[in-house]
Chains A and B, each alone.
Chain A
Amino acid sequence: MISTSTFNTPCTPNWCPGCGDFGIWSALRRALSNLGWKPSDFVMVYGIGCHGHMVNFLKSYAFETLHGRPIPVAEGIKLANNKLNVIVMAGDGDTFGEGTNHLVHAARRNIDITMILHDNQVYGLTTGQTAPTAQKGFKTKSTPYGVLEEPVNPIGIAVAAGATFIARGFAGDIPFTQSLIEQAIAHKGFSFIDVFQPCVTFNKINTYQWFSDHTYYLPKEYGANDRGEAYKKALEWGDKIPLGILYKEEKPTYEDGIPQIKDKPIIETPLPTREIMDAFINEFI
């Protein structure tokens, strides 16, 4: 246990008062402090959106990437040094507007990183257009007559793509989300947490109250070890939306399959020896 103030930076959070990002931020700080991690013990990788501003409010090794691209940057960081703990923070626009492709592939690779999705159904930073997670009929600046499409299903996609740890949290329940983050970090492989994050400024429908009224906690009996069951849970929407761990499976990671990093991260391996270099050259003589 270390103090959460260890992660303080010179910058003060500039999210709108009451924004769900505060809840995710607190849950993460508490999880990190519980783990006893110092700012030098992990790497945060952010997308672009309101959530991405956390790069300024959480002290750690960090990389605020491009809109839609935190996942491949995080994968590169991890592949080059698989000893690093890597956590991705991404928006729902970030993940399902620009970058859906990356999520699908990271999940099927089962690369050992943790991803936290800020699911607010809008584009916060660009001031309130629809996000791919928005409900059909949802009115925003970009959809004045209501969204015409069905929403993407983040959990459903993670289940289908093969993620080995899939959970849903709620920024309004900080201890619960903290616990999910801790378990996701402890999980070896690709872990994905969809966190309901009320955008108090641009989403007047999916409020804290709405989420409280429409969600339930998965009971202990729910095993979370059957992908088919997890998919059924992913389809639950409306009055009863499940929170908790939907699926968990132990499986070798992508890194486990790379022979050249069996003993140490690739950046710590020596350059090819003179003999190996000569052998490479001799192939062409």
Chain B
Amino acid sequence: MIKTWKIGGEAGFGIMVSGTTFSRSLARAGLYLVETSEYPSLIRGGHNTVAVTFSEKPVYAPYKPVDILVALNKETVIFHKDELAPGASVLYDGTSYDISQENLRPDAVFFSIPFGKLIKESGGEMIMRNTVALGASIAVLGLPFEHLAHILTAQFTKKGQKVVDFNITVAKSGYDYIVVNYKEKITPMKIEKKEKEQMVITGAEASGLGAIAAGIKFFAAYPMTPINALLSYMAAVQVKGNFIYKQPEDEIAAINMAIGASFSGARSMVATSGGGFSLMVEGTSLAGMVEQPVVIIMGMRPGPATGLPTWTGQADLHFILNASQGEFPRIVLAPGDMEEMFKLTAEAFNLADRYQTPTFVLVDKYLFEARFTTNVFHPEEIVIDRGKLLSYEDQIKTPDHNRFQFTEDGISPRGIPGRPGGVFRANSDEHNEAGYSDEEAANTAKMIEKRMKKQQMANMAVPAPIVYGDADAEITFSGWGSTKGAILEAIKKLKVQNSNLKVNYMHVNYINPFPSEAVEQILKNAKRVVDVEGNHNGQLADLIRMKTGIYIKDRILKYDGRPFYPEDIIEGVKKII
């Protein structure tokens, strides 16, 4: 059974932390989940919510209808009453606000909890309402309190046993209140024993772990939603992880520093969003010109300009594919879940090194900030391939090194400065094999061919997209990046509605190089293709047409700043078919 729990309150109520504590407790109890948060781009004031969709079976996307609403204030009830699912539970404080006039659905089940009184009794402060609510939520689901106690302990251990005990006491008061007063209303989850351990992780953290597993040595990022969580994670683990994180003066500095660090031989990375990347555009072409590997984590949010800073979208695909002057190779990857986030971020470093060119990991606010249960990552399985990076011995064989040597595959051996031989230079002006400026016609053409040869090499090695679902399907969805989860959930639902329906999903996570032939094969054989994307134009569909000539007419497009819910896709399909 898939259920969604939502907690809401004023910003500053500790809503975000409560969501995470709740998620971790559920995961520990053996449930699968997706946690998403909604917040306006303000620090204080404004209304914050966290929603956790969970199930005894794997679940890949958030569901919109709310089964358990935890209202830390009256506004939460007013704002979210229309989202309540049939028979939804509402946890609120009847002693401090009255919701009887709010016309909630008649089948709603009410749990009034005197937050203030319980906190007073355990000697806490009003800001700990969320902790009482967590205890109560765990009780409503019929889960043992032990899971929440374990997570609170881990969370507060650093602050000492007293703080741990205190938080547990406060949480327990909420738990006990439900058990004592609402015993008959509790509907326990039926959890099967899980064979495997699970991680609970955000896209930002998964991407950071991928970078660390790949041996990142330098990371520069200027704060901007949605990459702030990656930035603070990396800043926190840099000493243990043996790499440097630097907050630069701006995004221009970020990418130029990263290119400099890469020149020195460091695996280097930047992260930003569309506005910041606009400032990195010239730097990206510098990396392309001097053939310096650099990984760019590009977190999409709705634009143009400042747009909706704390919301999501997929509208920068063509921007990233086409940004910067001139022609040079680039790699663009678009992970669709936590495992892809980890593996493709790590792979981005290999591709950047192999083709000596800028490599993007295109993510979005939803996938980067949402928290998921996922299989435990295996960093030891990440293979590090530094391409044609010269060894010390090979580089010092000659006093000078032709850094831009013409080769069969367009990829030249790459040295690093500081070694006592193999001296070379990088040059943003067009240059000859030795790196000296050269504007001769023949050299210019040859150098462009050399660089673009690398794109051809990358094209030849591109993996085919995975098709999830039935063979011989009635409906084939196409999508990229973060829509994966919602589409997989929608497929489940469509099949519940009609068990004879055959349906599948073509998931594109290599945007450039683009797997043109494989996509053409899949779509040619498809009976009906429905494209699903978080932008206004259908940017992947247009790219597919450009690459394969195949025109996808049916498109389910969403561009209101919110992620796709499975329901959006079901409704979209209904309209089309």
**CA A62 – CA B427 in complex, angstroms?**
8
Q: Which residues of A contact B417 (CB under 8 A)?
A: 40, 43, 61, 77, 81, 84
Q: Which residues on B sit within 8 Å (CB–CB) of A74?
A: 260
Of residues 32 to 76 in A, which have CB atoms within 8 Å of B's CB atoms?
38-40, 43, 45, 48, 53, 55-56, 59-66, 69, 71-76
Interface residue? A102 (CB, 8 A) = yes
- Kindly report which residue of chain A lies nearest to residue B200, judged by CB atoms: A284
Q: Which residue of A lies closest to B154 (CB)?
A: A283
User: Which of B220, B246, B265, B429 has a CB less than 8 Å from the CB of A81?
Assistant: B265
The segment out of A208-216, A229-237, A269-277 that lies at the interface is A269-277
Given contacts A9-B436, A260-B243, are A76 and B249 in contact (CB under 8 A)?
no
| A64 (CB) vs chain B CBs: closest residue | B427
A residues less than 8 Å from B212 (CB atoms): 272, 277, 280
- Docked Cα-Cα span, A282 to B90, in Å, equals 34
In this complex, how many residues of chain B approach chain A with their Cβ under 8 Å: the count is 68
- Which residues on B sit within 8 Å (CB–CB) of A69? 252, 256, 283, 286
Chain B residues with Cβ under 8 A from A277's Cβ?
212-213, 379-380
Q: Is the CB of B257 within 8 A of A75?
A: yes
- Is A10 interfacial (CB 8 A cutoff)? yes
- The distance in angstroms between the C-alpha atoms of A270 and B240, with both chains bound, is 11
Smallest CB gap from A261: residue in B: B244
Instruction: Report how far A81 CA is from B37 CA in the complex, Å.
Output: 40
A271 to B419, CA, bound (A): 21
- The reply to whether A77 and B261 form a contact with Cβ atoms under 8 Å apart is yes
Q: In the bound complex, what is the Cα–Cα distance between A48 and B437 (angstroms)?
A: 12
Q: Which residues of B contact A104 (CB under 8 A)?
A: 249
B530 interface hit (Cβ, 8 Å): no
Q: Which residues of B contact A279 (CB under 8 A)?
A: 240
Q: Which of B199, B260, B286 contacts A284 (CB 8 A)?
A: B199
Contact A260 B260 (CB under 8 A): no
Chain A residues with Cβ below 8 Å from B419 are: 40
Shortest CB distance A63–B (Å): 5
A266 x B218 contact (CB < 8 A): yes
Q: Which residues of B contact A76 (CB under 8 A)?
A: 218, 220, 256-264, 268
Beyond A101-B253, A277-B380, A285-B198, whether A64 also contacts B429 by CB under 8 A is yes
B434 to chain A: closest CB distance in Å? Answer: 8
Sorting the interface of chain A by its residue count into under 10, 10 to 19, 20 to 34 or 35 or more gives 35 or more
CB within 8 Å for A63 and B244 given contacts A48-B428, A267-B217, A285-B376? no
With a CB–CB cut-off of 8 A, which chain B residues contact A75?
253, 257, 260
Q: How far is the CB of A212 from chain B (nearest CB, A)?
A: 33
Interface of B is mostly: mixed
> A186 interface residue, CB < 8 Å from B?
no
A105 to B252, CA, bound (A): 13
The reply on B88 being an interface residue by CB < 8 A is no
Whether A17 is near chain B, meaning CB under 8 Å from some CB there, is no
B377 interfacial contact with A, CB 8 Å: yes
In the assembled complex, the CB of A280 is this many whole angstroms from the nearest CB of chain B, namely: 6
Contact between chains at B428 and A77 (CB < 8 Å)? no
- Check if A72 sits within 8 Å of B260, measured CB to CB: yes
Within 8 A of B (CB), among A75-93: 75-81, 83-84
Establish whether residues A281 and B260, one from each chain, have CB atoms under 8 Å apart when the complex forms: no
CB distance from A74 to the nearest CB of B (A): 6
A266 surroundings in chain B (CB, below 8 A) = 217-218, 242-244, 266
Q: Provide the bound-state CA to CA distance between A121 and B528, in Å.
A: 66
Q: Give A89 to B257 CA distance when docked, in angstroms.
A: 16
Smallest distance from the beta carbon of A173 to chain B beta carbons, Å?
Answer: 29
Q: Looking at the assembled complex, report how far the CB atom of B419 sits from the nearest CB atom of chain A, in whole angstroms.
A: 7
B390 CB to closest chain A CB, in angstroms? 14
Residue contact B425 to A72, C-beta cutoff 8 Å: no
B256 touches A73 (CB 8 A): yes
Q: How far is the CB of A257 from chain B (nearest CB, A)?
A: 11
Residues of B within 8 A of A61 (CB): 417-418, 423-425
Q: Does B238 interact with chain A (Cβ within 8 Å)?
A: yes
Chain B, residues 214-240, CB within 8 Å of chain A (1/0): the string is 010110100000000000000001111
The reply to whether the CB of B197 lies closer than 8 angstroms to some CB of chain A is yes
Which one, A48, A63, A79, A274, contacts B246 given CB within 8 A? Answer: A79
Q: Does the CB pair B205–A284 fall under 8 Å?
A: yes
Closest to A76 in B: B260
B246, B376, B380, B428 — most chain A CB neighbours (10 Å): B428
Interface string of A163-197 (1 = CB under 8 A from B): 00000000000000000000000000000000000
Are the C-beta atoms of A39 and B290 separated by less than 8 Å?
no
User: By the criterion CB–CB under 8 Å, are B421 and A40 in contact?
Assistant: yes
Q: Is the CB of A72 within 8 A of B256?
A: yes
A209 to B212, CA, bound (A): 58
Q: Are B290 and A63 in contact (CB under 8 A)?
A: yes
Partner of A280, one of B237, B243, B435: B237
Assembly CA distance A14 to B215 (angstroms): 43
**B-side contacts of A72, CB under 8 Å:** 248, 252-254, 256-257, 260
Residue B12, interface by CB 8 Å: no
Our pick among B261, B286, B434 for the contact of A80 (Cβ within 8 Å) is B261
Q: Is B282 an interface residue (CB 8 A)?
A: yes
Q: Which of B404-422 contact A (CB under 8 A)?
A: 416-422
Closest residue of A by beta carbon distance from B197: A285
Residue of A nearest to B249 (CB): A105
Asked if A10 and B436 make an inter-chain contact with CB atoms under 8 angstroms apart, the answer reads yes
Q: Which residue of B243, B257, B376, B416 contacts A73 across the interface (Cβ within 8 Å)?
A: B257
A276 with B265: in contact, given A69-B252, A72-B256, A281-B377 (CB under 8 Å)? no
Establish whether residues A63 and B263, one from each chain, have CB atoms under 8 Å apart when the complex forms. yes
Please give the distance in Å from A18's CB to the nearest CB on chain B. 22
With a cutoff of 8 Å between Cβ atoms, the chain A residues found around residue B424 in the complex are 61
State whether the Cβ of A238 lies closer than 8 Å to any Cβ in chain B: no
Cβ of B142 within 8 Å of any chain A Cβ, yes or no, is no
Compute how far the CA of A177 lies from the CA of B299 in the bound complex, rounded to whole angstroms: 47
B240 touches A272 (CB 8 A): yes
Task: Mark interface residues in B170-206 (1 if CB within 8 Å of A CB, else 0).
Answer: 0000000000000000000000000001111100010
Cβ of B83 under 8 Å from chain A: no
**Interface flag for A2 (CB, 8 Å):** no
- Min Cβ gap B71→A in Å is 30
B378-418 interface mask toward A, CB cutoff 8 Å, 1 = contact, 0 = none? 01100010000000000000010000000000000000111
Bound CA–CA A101/B290 (angstroms): 24
Q: Is A11 an interface residue (CB 8 A)?
A: yes
Distance in angstroms between the alpha carbons of A270 and B417 in the assembled complex: 19
Query: Which residues of A114-161 are within 8 A (CB) of B?
Result: none
Q: Is B84's beta carbon under 8 Å from chain A? A: no
User: B114 — which chain A residues lie within 8 A by C-beta?
Assistant: none
Q: Would you give 30 A-B contacts (Cβ < 8 Å), ordered by A?
A: A39-B399, A43-B417, A48-B428, A55-B435, A55-B436, A56-B436, A60-B423, A61-B425, A63-B425, A63-B426, A64-B427, A69-B286, A72-B248, A73-B256, A73-B257, A76-B256, A76-B263, A76-B264, A77-B264, A79-B218, A80-B261, A84-B264, A101-B249, A105-B249, A259-B239, A260-B244, A269-B242, A271-B242, A272-B242, A277-B212
Q: A55-B436, A62-B425, A285-B198 are in contact. List 14 more A-B contacts (CB 8 A).
A: A40-B422, A59-B423, A60-B425, A62-B427, A76-B261, A78-B260, A81-B265, A81-B417, A101-B253, A267-B264, A269-B217, A277-B379, A277-B380, A284-B205
| Residues of chain B having any CB pair with chain A under 8 Å | 197-201, 205, 209, 212-213, 215, 217-218, 220, 237-244, 246, 248-250, 252-254, 256-266, 268, 282-283, 286, 290, 376-377, 379-380, 384, 399, 416-429, 434-437
